[in-house]
Amino acid sequence: MKTLTDWTLTDRSETGLELSIDGRHLLRVSVLDETLFRVSLLKDGTWRLDRGWCVAPEGDTPWQGRGRDDLSGHPCPGFTVEEEGGTLAIATSAMRLVIETPLRLVWQRRDGAGWASFAEERPTGGVMLGLRDHRHSHFLRRFTGEKVYGLGEKGGNLERSGRRFEMRNLDAMGYDAESTDPLYKHIPFTLTKTPEQGCWSIYYDNMAGAWFDLGNELDNYHLAYRAYRAEDGDLDYYMRWAPSLTELVKGQVRLTGGTAFPPRWSLGYSGSTMSYTDAPDAQAQLESFLARIEEHDIPCDSFQMSSGYTSIGPKRYVFNWNFDKCPDPKAMSAKFAASDVHLIANIKPCLLQDHPRYDQAAAEGLFIRASAEMDPDCGPERSIYWDDTGSHLDFTNPATVDWWKDGVTSQLLEYGIGSTWNDNNEYEIWDDAAQCAGFGEGIDVSLIRPVHSVLMTRASEEAQRAHAPGKRPYLISRSGMPGIQRHAQTWSGDNRTMWKTIRYNSRMGLGMSMSGLYNIGHDVGGFSGPRPEPELFVRWVQNGIFHPRFTIHSWNDDATVNEPWMFPEVTHHIRDAIRLRYRLLPYLYTVLWQAAEQDEPMIRPPFMDFPEDEGAYAECDEFLLGRDLLVATVMDEGATTRTLRLPACPTGWWDFHAGTWHEGGTTVTLDVDLGSMPLFVRGGAVIPMGNSTTRAHPGAETERVLAVFPAPGGFEETSLLYEDDGVSEGGASCVTRLTLSGGADSLSLTAARSGEGAPAIPVARIVLPAGETRSLPEEIAL
């Protein structure tokens, strides 16, 4: 590895500058927006990989990837260039990059008439590059008081500084949510809040394995620094400044293609377990679930079928039905459809070596190929996979994509199973030089391992869209990288049943959300390990209902199943929690629409909405669901009280259940019992809710309720209600703006609707909290 030092300006274009580095490499600086610059280092003047699949400012990339020289979709504003001595500065009206000699980059933001630095490379070398390979490192200064977030799905506390993390997709079943690393996803993106200069983010557009050291490492020869080290690929990064962390998050989502908008039913309770489909009478077990949700009066919208339906003996074979276990899948699907429960099937991208279709797939060249060092014939790569060895499908081969789409269509969609659960797609292939087809240009798998999870999911999505045109598809993917959110919902993988998992999965979910993956959740009740005790199970469900994905899923060591009715003595608490989820569906659906349409995070830590509140940055167990709900569920065994600090919201907070108002910035202690689900509402908010005698699909809701939580004194606040038919792509929709205002002795609520659609229920009942003395009419037309 060599530290890069010498540079010469060689070219200026409409979009930026080019520098010659050490007489052999090329450094490009591209001005993409007023506060977004891109820095690209081309070793020996060429790309290691000349395309990518993450950056998609226009919504998606071509199947074969977006050329790294492609700057379309960015505003690319004008800029100025100034040279003085050995220094070069390139600036927009809001942000400036100063390039010093020896090579060092300093990032500045506009500060009145001058400039203030918010990030800079370490003075003793900012970039190191491999001499005989493409390893590279990037070093930035660390400063006292900085707070670092991001990196997606990581364990432990939400604030990342002082720790070291690895980016390497692994199937980490039974992980410790506090400490295990790495996990399933590859998200090389961090956000930093500085004490005085606003916030900045850096996204390394590289899919090779990497490490982030955010202060764990010390070296006597350098000032305090943080490091990004990659084992391969290109140093190609995006540096953004913003006054708030929220703007950085939204910018990252736009950069990587936005968020999918799945159907409304995907917000309902989704049942799942390995046990049903592993059982010899899998179809009977699955169908019995329908009877039991009716028996126990549990609302449910979908069921995720684990992979046991594909088994031959103890192993699993994608697109293979075990008709002994499931003698009539079409009839089974019809029963689920008649109960309005959507089936979602687990599928895996690796064929075991004895798969019935392995030889056919190998003959057609559908697998990633082994390197010559591993196999002189460069046949299909072989990796350990699910109790055997197998070969991974190559989704950079159009023939593989077509084969996969056909499998999804003929083996699932035509059987009446409309959605896919794209699982075990971490691509743990450790033959780094194994070859992917690369759509005609071979690529080492080590350069694009996480691409396959995205392309696999995209192929499934295209099959689903072709089979049900005009309907919004629903997909799940466990692994991924920036861009997976364009296609699918994701979750934190195969967690372990422990009390602390609730706490650290919640923080893990916030980390994903701050990294641009909004539609996320966790395996409620714990996937791996012992079955949960009744108290733990209740608390987990009470927490899980407030995450975008709400799924109870398990593979318990004792072969028991996590089900809402598994402990009769607490089933009423489980039922109450799930029913609260369904009552909140109109609000949740509006939050989902805002994520897809306005790039708003669905869940977020309190400090994102209250950045001036220093107390909100402390690690805590609370989070916001949308703008208006502060979730404060109980996470400790045997708790009889719940203490929390309310964010410093100027309009205060209402206790959702008790109807009492509390001043923002204060600490409250609540008495709790096993049925308690502490929840607070921002003062001034209107929460759209629904009541239903059955599952709360748009057409099944029997009453619209507006839960109104006024602010004290004089105020005016606006809330939203989004509605459509819940399934159509581009169908008629409407947005109702609910404006709540008030004075010392009066309140007013108005509703103004826009859009071609109409509300599902045209009149809403108004409910005020118990502690509110001002009045409103009992109903309002929407």
- 337: its two tokens: 């459809």
pLDDT at 30: 98
CA 548 – CA 92 distance, rounded (Å): 38
- Residue 396 in any domain: the answer is no
- Residue 350 in any domain: the answer is no
Mean pLDDT of 623-648: 98
| Cβ(217)–Cβ(226) below 8 Å | no
CA 118 – CA 99 distance, rounded (Å): 14
- Residue 244 in any domain: the answer is yes
Q: Is the peptide bond before 299 cis (omega within 30 degrees of 0)?
A: no
- pLDDT of 175 > 60? The answer is yes
| Cβ(537)–Cβ(574) below 8 Å | yes
Domain count, the chain: 2
DSSP conformation letters of 563-593: -TTSSGGGHHHHHHHHHHHHHTHHHHHHHHH
- Residue 251 in any domain: the answer is yes
- 171: its two tokens: 């199937």
- pLDDT of 429 > 60? The answer is yes
Mean pLDDT of 632-639: 98
Share of the chain above pLDDT 70, in %: 99
- Residue 730 in any domain: the answer is yes
- Residue 126 in any domain: the answer is yes
- pLDDT of 695 > 70? The answer is no
Q: What size, in residues, is the chain? A: 782
pLDDT at 696: 55
| Cβ(582)–Cβ(549) below 8 Å | no
Q: What is the pLDDT of residues 25-62, one digit of tens each?
A: 999 999 999 999 999 999 999 999 999 999 999 999 99
Mean pLDDT of 740-759: 97
Of 217, 239, 255, which closes a domain? 255
Q: What's the mean pLDDT when you consider all of the chain?
A: 97
- Identify the domain containing residue 121 by its residue range: 2-255
Q: What is the pLDDT of residues 251-309, one digit of tens each?
A: 999 999 999 999 999 999 999 999 999 999 999 999 999 999 999 999 999 999 999 99
Residue 694: pLDDT band with limits 50, 70, 90: low
- 322: its two tokens: 């075990």
Residue 671's Cβ-count burial label (10 Å; 0-12, 13-18, 19+) is: exposed
Of 255, 281, 314, which closes a domain? 255
pLDDT at 693: 63
pLDDT at 692: 78
SS3 category, 753: strand
> The domain spanning residue 723 has which CATH number?
2.60.40
- pLDDT of 768 > 90? The answer is yes
Q: What is the pLDDT of residues 97-144, one digit of tens each?
A: 999 999 999 999 999 999 999 999 999 999 999 999 999 999 999 999
- Residue 507 in any domain: the answer is no
| Cβ(185)–Cβ(481) below 8 Å | yes
Q: What is the pLDDT of residues 381-409, one digit of tens each?
A: 999 999 899 999 999 999 999 999 999 99
| Cβ(719)–Cβ(764) below 8 Å | no
Tokens 């070793």 belong to residue: 43
Q: What is the pLDDT of residues 501-551, one digit of tens each?
A: 999 999 999 999 999 999 999 999 999 999 999 999 999 999 999 999 999
pLDDT at 766: 98
Share of the chain above pLDDT 90, in %: 98
Mean pLDDT of 552-572: 96
pLDDT at 592: 98
CA 65 – CA 48 distance, rounded (Å): 14
- Residue 781 in any domain: the answer is yes
Extract the runs of DSSP E, i.e. beta strands, from 497-586. 521-524, 528-529, 549-552, 555-556
Of 240, 255, 270, which closes a domain? 255
Please state, in angstroms and as integers, the Cα–Cα distance from residue 57 to each residue in 260, 483, 516, following that order. Answer: 14, 10, 13
> The domain spanning residue 127 has which CATH number?
2.60.40.1760
pLDDT at 622: 98
Residue 700: pLDDT band with limits 50, 70, 90: confident
